[in-house]
Structure 1
């Protein structure tokens, strides 16, 4: 077994306080997200999405954030995928943005709802032609015997939609994670990390607390 005990980095290039953050966590997320984009890290909108199946088994995968505002954080997928079925059964999720290069993480917990069909159509229409075809090709999370079958299906879709008009599949669209809590984590020296935790109150406002690292 490899010894990983010496794999460590010393954090602490910045500090985060209750007084320094924005009172609205979505606005604080925008500040951090814009900074992540400015630092040109790979896929700053990549987020780990955790859902839970009917046996209370968590499942984790990476998806891409495609929109956000005070209503929540939006991603798109196949409704019949594993995560889609799990969200239909238990519409709650946890999201993590692992901006390790910046010594930052953001964790979002909340309930999940489908976005409107018009929102899904608007985003779907903005995708490259190949990506729109890909949504029709894959029965996401189902077992396939070979990659060649997927490629054959892709060629079939190219012929079917050769005029470039690819309709929105009925089984594909967006989900919005409506945040109940949002935590901002900043690496600190000697493992004294900063953790600022927002929790939505009944009236829709946010409480802000510091958590121990």
Structure 2
């Protein structure tokens, strides 16, 4: 099938097939690293990602399923990690917001490939309460607050100019107002994990994978997975 492609496309395909990275060189991930639970190791790896100057180390790939059972992924920014789970903020009327209200279960991965690490959360999703949403909203730059009001996230727009005109209108609406309110359809979601999987790149694709399974009582069990 590949040989039937035009020469330029064959070259592109071959280049992708040849792309490989050798991992390893650091200490192997072992079960004892999780003696104190998943939370300390996640925060330790996040600190390593920050120290390595990875761009937006709080970026995570969020996977949802819509009302028709169709999956979708997109990158969002995690704004809180606690033992209760991971939190991100969005327009509740966005595609992911609607999907999560139809099926309140999600997966989110932090792809820290530059440090040979990845962490994946899977779990039940619920809305963050209004007080926590307000507290986070208060930390957002003014431009980000205006942008949240200007955008009906995931809705169709006729042009970039139309979107910028909407921002101009919103900016005028809140001119002189230092206390821009939270939009009524905007807030946070928390993924409360039922599993947290740690991935560490190793040579010869024999990567380390350890998953922490969490039951309804909060009891955890560690399992090692083949790569």
Q: TM-score normalised to the size of structure 2?
A: 0.91
The superposition leaves residues 189-212 of structure 1 with CA deviations (integer Å, 9 ceiling, x where unpaired) of 111110011000342121111111
In structure 1, runs of 5+ residues without a counterpart are none
In structure 2, runs of 5+ residues without a counterpart are 1-9
SS in 2 for 1:204: coil
For 2:142 and 2:110, locate their aligned partners in 1 and report how far apart those are by CA, in whole Å. Answer: 28
For the pair 1:117 / 2:125, whether they are aligned, the reply is no
For the pair 1:36 / 2:55, whether they are aligned, the reply is no
Cα shift at 1:158: 1.1
Cα shift at 1:21: 3.0
For the pair 1:50 / 2:63, whether they are aligned, the reply is yes
SS in 1 for 2:34: coil
8 Å CA contact 1:23, 1:206 repeated in 2? no
Q: TM-score normalised to the size of structure 1?
A: 0.97
Q: How many residues align?
A: 213
Q: Which stretch has the larger CA shift, 21-30 or 52-61?
A: 21-30
For 2:215 and 2:99, locate their aligned partners in 1 and report how far apart those are by CA, in whole Å. Answer: 27
CA shift in 2, pair 1:18/1:81, >3 Å = same
8 Å CA contact 2:33, 2:41 repeated in 1? no
SS in 2 for 1:19: helix
For 2:118 and 2:35, locate their aligned partners in 1 and report how far apart those are by CA, in whole Å. Answer: 16
Task: Name the one with the larger helix percent.
Answer: 2
Cα shift at 1:128: 0.5
For the pair 1:96 / 2:76, whether they are aligned, the reply is no
**Alignment partner of 1:24 out of 34, 37, 49:** 37
For 1:108 and 1:13, locate their aligned partners in 2 and report how far apart those are by CA, in whole Å. Answer: 26
Cα shift at 1:48: 0.2
**Alignment partner of 1:147 out of 160, 174, 179:** 160
- Higher relative contact order (Cα pairs below 8 Å, separated by 6+ residues): 1
CA RMSD of aligned residues (A): 1.0
**Alignment partner of 2:21 out of 3, 9, 12:** 9
**Alignment partner of 1:76 out of 78, 81, 89:** 89
For 2:25 and 2:35, locate their aligned partners in 1 and report how far apart those are by CA, in whole Å. Answer: 20
Q: Which stretch has the larger CA shift, 9-18 or 60-69?
A: 9-18
Aligned residue in 2 for 1:65: 78
For the pair 1:170 / 2:184, whether they are aligned, the reply is yes
For 1:87 and 1:199, locate their aligned partners in 2 and report how far apart those are by CA, in whole Å. Answer: 22
For 2:158 and 2:69, locate their aligned partners in 1 and report how far apart those are by CA, in whole Å. Answer: 29
**Alignment partner of 1:105 out of 114, 118, 135:** 118
SS in 1 for 2:204: helix
